[in-house]
Amino acid sequence: MNKIEIPEEKYNEIAKLIESSDSPVGIDAKKTHVIIIHKLMEIERRLSNLENNDVSKMKEIKPIISTDELRELIDNSGNYVLIDVREPSELEYGMIPSAINIPLDDIEFGIERFDKNDNLIFYCRTGGRSHQAAETAKRLGFFNSRNYKGSVWEWSKIDSNVMMYGPEPY
């Protein structure tokens, strides 16, 4: 793994901060030290994820999948994981076939069980939350993540088991 390079002036600033009692927002120096170390470890973990996924070899993935593309994947038992990010109380309106439910608030921990190379497709009611989920997944190293922007609102037009609900999307 690559070493993290910190410019000397930034290092000196951090060192002075750790040694002083004048820490930001009233946190004592030891807590500040722990926070800095934690942040550096998080950066190292993310760099490791990037290296393990070898970004340079990845094919370009369109960030949005259409209704036709999703239908083809489902009909042909394609290689994908379809994730409904709606709240459990919304599931009474139906789910797209083969989907699993991981509410948006649980996405970061909920997708840990998948491989970083899996083809993750997110949907919700109208595409807003699923967009957030796809971006979160990409930030965590799941670069093959896409948003089904049409979500339930569009899918309900081709599947009578899924119903439109709530206000019309913009």
Q: Which residues are catalytic?
A: 124
Q: Which two tokens stand for residue 4?
A: 């993290």
* CA nearest neighbour of 121 among 57, 89, 170, 74: 74
Q: How far apart are CA 54 and CA 48, in angstroms?
A: 10
The CB density around residue 147, as the number of other CB atoms within 10 Å, is 26
Q: Which two tokens stand for residue 82?
A: 């379809």
CA of residue 167 relative to chain centroid, distance: 26
* Amino acid occupying residue 141: G
Strands laid side by side in the 120-123 sheet: 100-101, 81-84, 120-123, 145-147
Q: How far apart are CA 145 and CA 157, in angstroms?
A: 24
